Amino acid sequence: MGRATILTGLGAAVPESVLTNEMLAARMDTSDEWIVSRTGIRERRVVTPDIATGDLAVQAGAHALKSAEVDAVDAVVLATTTPDHRCPATAPSVAARLGLGRVAAYDVGAVCSGFLYGLASGSGLVSAGIADRVLVIGAEAFTTIIDPGDRTTAPIFGDGAGAVVLEAGDEARRGALVAFDLGSDGDLADLIMIPAGGSRRRVARAPGDEFMKMQGRPVFMNAVTRMVESSRNVLEKTGWPPESVDLLVGHQANVRILYAVADQLGLPHEKAFVNLDRYGNTAAASIPLALADAAQRGRLCAGDRVLLTAFGGGATWGAVALEWPRLTSY
Q: Which residues are catalytic?
A: 112, 251, 281
**254 belongs to the binding site for ligand COA (CB under 6 A):** yes
| DSSP-based three-state secondary structure for 12 | strand
Residues in contact with ligand COA, shown as a per-residue x/- string from 72 to 111 under the rule CB under 6 A: ----------------------------------------
Number of residues forming the site for ligand COA (CB under 6 A): 22
User: In the complex, what is the shortest distance from the CB of residue 89 to ligand COA, in angstroms, rounded to a whole number?
Assistant: 22
**312 belongs to the binding site for ligand COA (CB under 6 A):** yes
What Cα–Cα distance (Å) separates residue 160 from each residue in 3, 52, 88, 138, 209? 32, 10, 21, 8, 24
Contact with ligand COA (CB under 6 A) among 10, 78, 94, 112: 112
Residues in contact with ligand COA, shown as a per-residue x/- string from 282 to 311 under the rule CB under 6 A: -----------------------------x
**26 belongs to the binding site for ligand COA (CB under 6 A):** no
Contact with ligand COA (CB under 6 A) among 32, 36, 204, 220: 220
Residues in contact with ligand COA, shown as a per-residue x/- string from 257 to 276 under the rule CB under 6 A: x-------------------
User: In the complex, what is the shortest distance from the CB of residue 39 to ligand COA, in angstroms, rounded to a whole number?
Assistant: 5
User: In the complex, what is the shortest distance from the CB of residue 148 to ligand COA, in angstroms, rounded to a whole number?
Assistant: 13
Interatomic CA distance for residues 107 and 271, integer angstroms: 31
Which residues from 132-151 bind ligand COA, rule CB under 6 A? 151
User: In the complex, what is the shortest distance from the CB of residue 261 to ligand COA, in angstroms, rounded to a whole number?
Assistant: 12
Contact with ligand COA (CB under 6 A) among 253, 261, 272, 322: 253
**217 belongs to the binding site for ligand COA (CB under 6 A):** yes
Residue of 237, 220, 221 lying closest to 320 (CA atoms): 237
**38 belongs to the binding site for ligand COA (CB under 6 A):** yes
State the residue number with the nearest CB to ligand COA: 216
| DSSP letters spanning 212-264 | -EE-HHHHHHHHHHHHHHHHHHHHHHHT--GGG-SEEEE-SS-HHHHHHHHHH
CB proximity list for 214: less than 8 A, separation 6 or greater: 152, 153, 156, 191, 192
Q: Give the β-pairing of 75-79 and 133-140.
A: parallel
Between helix 255-265 and helix 32-39 the angle, nearest 10°, is 20
**240 belongs to the binding site for ligand COA (CB under 6 A):** no
Cis preceding linkage at 88, omega within 30: yes
CB proximity list for 160: less than 8 A, separation 6 or greater: 12, 13, 14, 15, 45, 56, 139, 140, 279, 282, 285, 286, 289
**48 belongs to the binding site for ligand COA (CB under 6 A):** no
- Write the single-letter amino acid at 251: H
**37 belongs to the binding site for ligand COA (CB under 6 A):** no
User: In the complex, what is the shortest distance from the CB of residue 25 to ligand COA, in angstroms, rounded to a whole number?
Assistant: 8
Q: Give the β-pairing of 18-20 and 43-45.
A: antiparallel
Contact with ligand COA (CB under 6 A) among 216, 263, 264, 304: 216
**200 belongs to the binding site for ligand COA (CB under 6 A):** no
Interatomic CA distance for residues 84 and 88, integer angstroms: 8
Which span (101-109, 126-134, 198-206, 218-226) binds ligand COA, by CB under 6 A? 218-226
Q: Give the β-pairing of 3-13 and 160-170.
A: antiparallel
**39 belongs to the binding site for ligand COA (CB under 6 A):** yes
Q: How many CB atoms lie within 10 A of CB 177?
A: 24
- Judged by the rule CB under 6 A, the positions of this chain that interact with ligand COA are 30, 34-35, 38-39, 112, 151-152, 155-156, 214, 216-217, 219-220, 223, 253-254, 257, 281, 311-312
